[in-house]
Structure 1
Amino acid sequence: MSSFSRADVDLGTRVRQQEVVTELGRQALREDDLDGLLDDAAAAVAATLDTEFCGVIESLPGGEEGVLRVGVGWPQELVGSTRVPLDPDSQAGRAFESGDPVVVEDRHAETQFSRPERFADRDVVSGISVAVGSADEPWGVLETHATERQEFTGQDADFLEGVAEVLAAAIENERRRRRLRAERTFDERIAETSPVGLAVLDGTGEIHFANERAEEILGRARSELTGTSFDAPELDLVDSDGDPLAPGQRTYECVLEAEEPVYDLERGVRRTDGERVWLSVNGAPLPGDDPGEVVVAFEDVTEHHRIETELETVFGRVTDAFYALDEEFRFTLVNERAEQLLQRSEEELLGERLWEVFPEAAERDEVRESFHDAMETQRPQSYELFFEPLDFRVEATVYPSESGVSVYFRDVTERERNERRLEESERRYRTLVENFPNGAVGLYDEDLEYRAVGGELLDARDVEPADRVGHSVHEVYPDDLLEEIEPYFHTALDGEENAFEVEYNDRYVHAYTLPVRDPDGEVTAGMLVVQDVTERWERERELKRYETIVEAVDDGVYVVDEDSNFTMVNETYAEMLGYSPEELIGESATKVVDEAVIEHINELQAASDEDGDDRPKIEAELRTADGGSVPVEATFASLPDDDPGWYRVGVVRDVTERKERDRALEKSERRYRTLAEHFPNGAVSVYDHDLRCTLVEGAVLGEKLPVADRLERRRMPDLFPDEAAADLEPLFRATVEDGETGNTTTAFGGHNWKVWATPLRDADGEIFAGLSFAQDITDQVEREQRLQDLVERLEESNERLEQFAYAASHDLQEPLRMVSSYL
């Protein structure tokens, strides 16, 4: 991978590259065909940089690979199907992850990146790749390659990044259009908040039928519309550009020619008051005896058209502003759009230093640093701020070159305002969707006047939305109901959310009032969301008392009044205490429980009523008839307040056996834990079927082994070195999988260990875990090693003694033979 060439870049080349970027930007604004734009961009890049291959790679979900969506020079069968790795080991992946241009001048000498399969048999030598989209959420990669060695300049990289920015903006616009279409689909389902005009035309365009909404949109009475041609001169029908429709462009003509539905035709009509209204029109053949009839559905998109027109105007301006500076920050080139925004002609600026013409810019750290950093690092820099001397918000990108910097900038003041308005509209719809509980919704202003209403509840009550829109709550609701609910409307406008239930027209309604906020968090309206809960409310009221009592009929059940006197006890409860039900009913609860316990129950009940906890629980000792006591666990709940004799119900369970088991279990657990904690010179652990350690105790924890917190919840293969894990894993698996008991030895952490493992079984004999004991046998191993060393030394000594004895025997035998020869 190489750095950018330091060769001077011809000014004419830069201008041509900028013209390509500008033309692609205009195409992106002029057309909605994203695929066409991607094709044209790839072709333009290949032609401008004189390369044989150019492709646009779209990232797939997960970001680990992409697909070659558009390709120039590549075989057609590869486009749309070839998967491209986006990992850092590839040129495209490095650009995708870093957000910086990546250049390879000679792929044969390049060692950083792997060679993609798509380059096989194509002798690709040089190439440059840039990310498409933001650094936080890149969409994909734009790359171009040549079969001959080519030195790409920094200006080439800037050009490719400029094209990538245009593509990223077009992709974002496409996403926004999809969101708008989704919102429009949602709005059509709720006809009350997105009214649709309907008209039926014959084969000549004459209107046979128009609904009431059509009257409102077109500004003409139904009697005027019926019998009138849909393209009558008084309607002044025009296309989306404001030009009169040519023959064959009328909606009914398009439908009849295609013989199938047409969608999203944009048309403008003139109302009787002279106002131009923009419509989104759908049309479809109308089934029936007359094959020439067409049904047309249209909605008023005047505001949407206005915003789109403004946005197109804004984007049309911002893509063209450009000026160039030399190394001394003197103007060397200024285009027409830059002259307009800078409010100075090119003649006035050429040769002048930026900081002298605009001294206020030099005082802004983000501006000066962007220019100097771009010059010093040779990497593009960006900034956005409001520039007071020129009275607009500027978004600028500074691109470095060997001879200075090139600056592309735009006036984003109006765009920012439009985006805020769009965000406010989207937020309103989002609030409606998120809080709509299958009932009805109303949006009202600060005068408590409804601006939009809708929902199935209105249909069920035969209420027309038009009877609500434009009317205040004072006109809609009776005075007694208004007195109860009006404060909630006001508090929502103050920024508070409310929830309440009211009875209205013999129905019970659960309602919310919510504040609707703009992007700055300011409350702009209120929203009422209601749900009919009549059936639920009546059912819950009827069953409340009985459901509470029947929840645990196998246990003791009692009911007391507000004075804690028994009003009902079942047989189980009475038998538990050695009484009959008749002996307890009417008696105070203090007969079987201490006064302090009753006071504690009352406190828990008060807290439960406040917090909404339906079933508080308590453990206590109840006195029996023979003077003994029974440990119990009790739950209780408040009863509906319409009967003072039925104040609280309690469910009681005798926990004597459980207490005894708990004590025995606790004693056993304490013994085992004591044993584990003091296991001599070792540790005890319990592990599950995944070989994950669930409990560790032992005397060596924190010394020869890590502390328990570092061992528990981790798998055995992850805790030990590979050699030790290889020794232990078969032993542990045989325990939990085959029920085998065994042992082994291993070494880790500078110590030698002997490890035993055995299965743990439940009452049914099923293995639910494994139990292991590890004991440090380092001293034993060392003693055995020393003994072995001693044995080896003794054997060596014995061998030397044998050799000495042999030599001594030989030396003694020779003189004896000489003496014997003289005898």
Structure 2
Amino acid sequence: MCILGDGHGGDPHGESPPEIYERITDAFYALDEDWQFTYVNKRAEDIIRRSAAEVLGESIWEAFPEARDSVVWEKYHEAMETQEPVDFELYYEPLDVWAEVNAYPSETSLSVYFHDISERIEREQQLRRYQRIIETVNDGVYAVDPEGRFTMVNDAYAELFGYDREELLGEHVSKIVSDEIAEAAQEIEAAQVAGEREAPSLEAEIETADGETVVAEATFALLSDENGAYERIGVVRDVTERKEYERRLKEQCERYRRFVEAVPVAIVTCDANGRIVFANEAAAEQSGMGGDLVGTSALELVHADDRDEVADRLHRVLERREAVPPTEIRLETGDGVTCHAITTGVPITNEDEPAGQFVLTDITERKRYEQQLNETVTELEASNERLDSFASMLAHELRNPLNVAEIYLQQIEDDSTAADRVSDALDRIEGMIDVLLMLAKGSDAVSKGQALALADIATDAWEMLDTRAASLDVETTRVVRADENQIRHLLENVFENALEHGGEGVTVRVGDLPSGFYVEDDGPGITADERDDVFEADYSTEEGLGLGLTFVARLADAYGWDCEATESEAGGARFEFTGVAFADEE
């Protein structure tokens, strides 16, 4: 390549510089000492996409301002300063061009020739990309020459068989595979050359450098050179785990087959037409048809009233390929007996054809049990109604003599104190009747009640009792929402328990808990092993049955409260009521 440094002069043959420049096959332009274009040949015009007329006399830095921030600025100034040629590769983004540039300086000019190397760069990048792919894939990749020697192996191939890459390059394939496998590969190669096979594969057990055995699957391709010789390319994959998985899968299929045959639940497979192609022993027994199920329409086993529904479920599984949820159907056995079953179905394939698998669980005995249970529930409901009626009649019968007592009470004039006591007792009995009726009807009979100051109710309940030398200490400001009569009777029974078992001079205290309140005394208390029993109706004390605390527990339960017996700080009995609805927190 002839480079004319200052862009002037001629040659001995009489050709002018422009004529010489145009004969240069590379793109060429010349710059003066002010970086202005003095010449641009046709090839350069094509690459820079500007005509000579557009750039001649213009500074390169003004014509192409992006070049100021590129290696061009640095290299051109280096050439002019050192008066030494420079060469470099450049990607010029505005033109989307890769170029190889050679710049030759003189004292007053810079001659630049360059050529477009975009295709070469693209091929190199593509090659590097393929190399990276080969090096990063998990599969082993190799190439062998016609003599069967390795010309290329990637790291994955070398590592698969326990070698370094350098140990394999140039070695014969027999270093890796047996003669038998090598012969099989050569036969495959010959078939490929003859056009008999396009993408053949070979599976074999291969011993690694460490003496272990791997199952490898190789796929082959041929690459011919300019002399017509073929190089075999192989992609090798370790399928040891896959083969082990296939072995386990085969074993699992066998176990599943045996399970299906042995399970006491009916399992049938239907083809796309709804005919049974498989039925286990349980299905044959449940249908009463023995081994005659295969080939039978599944609908023939279904009760006539349920066939439309089952036909729709078959359509969803077999046609729409949907799994259907469990549902209850009736079946007709071979001897005309109706039985009940829960059935579900899922779409499957059978011999590469769409099919459905259905599981039928016989619930005939369960249905009989449910019927018996429903009859028992009905009897219990009738019994509860009789109990409720009895409680109402008892309350009615008690109220009659109470009404008579109240009439005669009004006629007592001599002893007003006695009259008050009798009147209070009658009021308590009247309130107790209301509470008993509520307990007989359950929590549904509990009214929303009203906002009640717990301290006032406790004081009222205490004053209704014969407290003698005992004392009450009320330490609560909470407001509960309850029926006044019911909550007062609850507290009366707790107080009576303290008065009965706490001894003379017992002190009873009512206080707050984070979610309720407590009632405690300083009496002898309740032993730990008896605290869960004191609320039972058959719990006995020295004085008789402890029905008062049974009443307390049931009334608390009707309100949704938790009631627990424990020990007070003084060692006495303590009853904690939690889960209480406070009106002052609403």
TM over 0.5: no
Q: Which has the larger radius of gyration?
A: 2
TM-score where L is the length of structure 2: 0.31
Higher relative contact order (CA 8 A, sep 6+): 2
TM-score where L is the length of structure 1: 0.23
